[in-house]
A and B are shown apart, each in its own frame.
Chain A
Amino acid sequence: MKDLIKSYGDTKAADGLSLTVKDGEYICILGPTGAGKTTCLRMICGLTKQDSGEITFDGKPMDKVPISERRTTMLSQVYSLFPPMTVYENVMFSPSIKDWPEEESKQLVKSMIKMVHMDQKVQQYPHELSGGQQQRTALARALASDSKVLLLDEPLRALDARLRLELRKELKSMAKEMGLTSIHVTHDQDEALEMADRIAIIRQGRIVQIGTPMEVFQNPATPFVANFVGRSNIFVGKVGTSDETGTEVILPDGTKVRSRHTDLSEGEDAVVAVKIGSTRIEHIPVPTEEVPDPLMPEGYFEAVIERILYEGATITVEMSSSAIELVTCKLPNRKFDDFSVGDRVMVSWAPDKATLFRIPECGIVEELRLD
């Protein structure tokens, strides 16, 4: 996809969108509702025509190639199975309208149904199936074609959370097994992290960053990405001095925090983002008679614990401080017994875990909007 532009009235669903997907790759296009994700998929398969820009498959322009010859298949968030047809008939749909040889079609359809674990339900109708089963049938139908490119439009959105977790693994391994190039659109950052070979973050019709899940998580390109993929504590301040360990940033109340190196100059306004999972806290010891002057932990600022939420493998600790109204940190669950509400703690992080950005033109509040 190169420099794609598509407008609907005043809204630009694609605004200079460029993206290269490799053969056999599983790419997630991740972004909030209204970012242009679905439009992107529709342009790839030919359901929507871009105003300008070019789409090529294997180097060949797709401009004049009709939908039916692009060999793409779309699985949408609403499983549009044909209600009067059984599971078998639904999956047989594409082979039968394309007049493929009967024996081969039967074999293909059977193997697809088996792959999605629906072989016990071949004679059932869509209304007799659960959401997960309908979704798997729709996937088998999408796969029982000669498509090379699989387009997935929020394929798990309508399912229960627990079932979504199960299907993430299945869906990707099926696409990989069939050697398909897959483009999966989602608003769910956990889904993208777990499933994608590479993640393309989309916002307002543009790709703002593309990289492996780890690159996107650890080296976000913008404050938005820093907060959208995993939660971040965000601070606004002025760039201070730098040394070999990182750069100092001075917050409005005078608090000094540190981040990784930057090419911003001293005195510039800047945004610091640090993942809540990289934010550390340590108790501030209370002076006693025996130890009137206890050793203070190192850190950037003090905070008071307001809430501790036990969330399973991790706990979330919410704190207030004079430096920032609300600061959050995520710790392994074994730390649960170490902290209590009301505790005074010192907040810190390794400077290389914090990224520093120029203040975005639209302003920080607008930049961080999630939807």
Chain B
Amino acid sequence: MATKIELDGISMKFGDFYAVRNISLKVEEGEYITILGPSGCGKTTLIKVIAGIWRPTEGRVLVDGQDVTDVPIEDRDTGYVFQNIALFPNMDLMENVGYSPRVKDMPKDVTESVSTEYLELVKMLDRAGMFPGELSGGEQQKVAIARALASGSKMLMLDEPLSALDARVRVELRYDIRRLVKKLGITVLHVTHDQEEAMSVSDRIVLMRAGGIHESGSPLEMYREPKSIFAAYFIGETNLLECTVTDKSRTGKTTVRLRGGKSVKAARSELEEGDAAVISVRPERVYTATEGLKAKVLSVVFMGTYWRVRTVTETKDYVDYNISTDKVTPEIGSKVYLVFNKKATKVFKRPEKGLAEAIRLE
């Protein structure tokens, strides 16, 4: 696959403050990338630079190998969808979606057939004659996406496109968007703070923090093999326990001692005996057994497809685990013994500034 977009050492400075700093990234043609991160991490700045709304203070943006750093957005072939739906209120849906072909002076019948095609794609053709004010938020955002695509652009920039919508609509629309752009073979950059949304739509997630790329990978890689505590914590849910490495087997399997002395076997790691560490284990990889880490059940919450059990362990760690909805749930206050699927644990070096700082969101 050819590289569609390349960022070469992009920085964006406001006064003395770097909103993004020295970012390099290659996006393949047809790839769906989400730029994920907490508020203030620089993700919105980055997409505005890529789209050409802002000129970076340093670095270059290349599209199809051409340097477009100085090309303003109106002269680029890019579709852009904002968080706040921005349809023309005085135009019906047909006219809204036909906006780009019309300003390019396409003949009327071409404009109409393009509008029809894209309204059909987002399943809104039966309402072509309606005005934006007559639609719900989710429907308006579908039309906004159709309008962005009707420009014929092979690149789509989605700047928190679902944030303003109801949770249930967001879920439905994220699957719709993924199906649509894959069908059309469009290259997508999608900014979001919602890790569930990122997991559902992406080929690759670029996790940002404090103006830089913190880590990137496919949803599977980011969830199964996170390389940092922050990624393990931010993407999906996980239990983090402070510990010290007490033993390494010849094959690299790590044994750690939790606070209070309890020993737990964990996966392979690069750490050495005596290193301060943190282990991460996902709630679906924690089980109960007749012996193990002793814990007291704090709450049992119905989560739809499973029960979430929250416990506090003898090591004063909070550990959550899941049980299937057809199983009997433990009583609140009762004792359980927890074991971890050791292969599914991740062992990280304990950060010098502490665990709380390593996962700080704001």
Contact = CB atoms under 8 A, between A and B. Distances in A.
Interface of A: 32-34, 130-133, 160-163, 165-166, 186-191, 193-194, 212-214, 217-218, 228-231, 275, 277, 307, 309-314, 316, 318, 328, 330, 332-333, 336, 369-371
Contacts of B215: none
Contacts of B194: 160-161
Interface string B123-148: 00000000000001111000000000
B220 interface: yes
Contact of A194 (B138, B139, B303): B303
Nearest to A336: B220
B104 interface: no
Given A212-B302, A230-B305, A311-B200, A162 B171 contact: no
Contacts of B305: 230, 275, 277, 314, 330
13 contacts: A130-B40, A132-B362, A163-B361, A189-B167, A193-B303, A194-B301, A214-B325, A231-B172, A309-B199, A312-B235, A316-B175, A370-B138, A371-B166
Contacts of A163: 38, 361-362
Contacts of B284: 313, 332-333
Given A130-B362, A309-B199, 8 more contacts: A33-B166, A194-B303, A217-B304, A307-B178, A310-B220, A312-B237, A333-B284, A370-B172
B99 to A, nearest CB: 24
A277 B324 CA distance: 11
Contacts of B325: 214, 218
Contacts of B182: 307
B322 interface: yes
A186 to B, nearest CB: 8
**Interface extent on B, as a size class?**
35 or more
B89 to A, nearest CB: 18
* Interface of A: prevailing SS: mixed
Contacts of B362: 130-133, 160, 163
B165 interface: yes
B38 A160 contact: yes
Contacts, number: 130
Nearest to A276: B305
Interface in B298-354: 301-305, 308, 322, 325
B236 A313 contact: yes
Interface of B: 38-40, 136-139, 165-169, 171-172, 175, 178-179, 182, 193-197, 199-200, 218-220, 223, 234-237, 282-284, 301-305, 308, 322, 325, 361-362
A179 to B, nearest CB: 18
A132 B40 CA distance: 13
A309 B178 CA distance: 10
Sort A-B residue pairs by CB-CB distance and give the 9 closest, nearest first. A277-B305, A188-B167, A161-B194, A312-B236, A130-B362, A371-B136, A187-B166, A160-B193, A311-B199
A309 B169 CA distance: 18
Nearest to A313: B284
A261 to B, nearest CB: 19
Given A132-B362, A187-B168, A313-B322, A161 B196 contact: yes
A336 B221 CA distance: 13
Nearest to B174: A309
Contacts of A312: 195-196, 199, 219, 223, 235-237
B161 to A, nearest CB: 14
Nearest to B139: A371
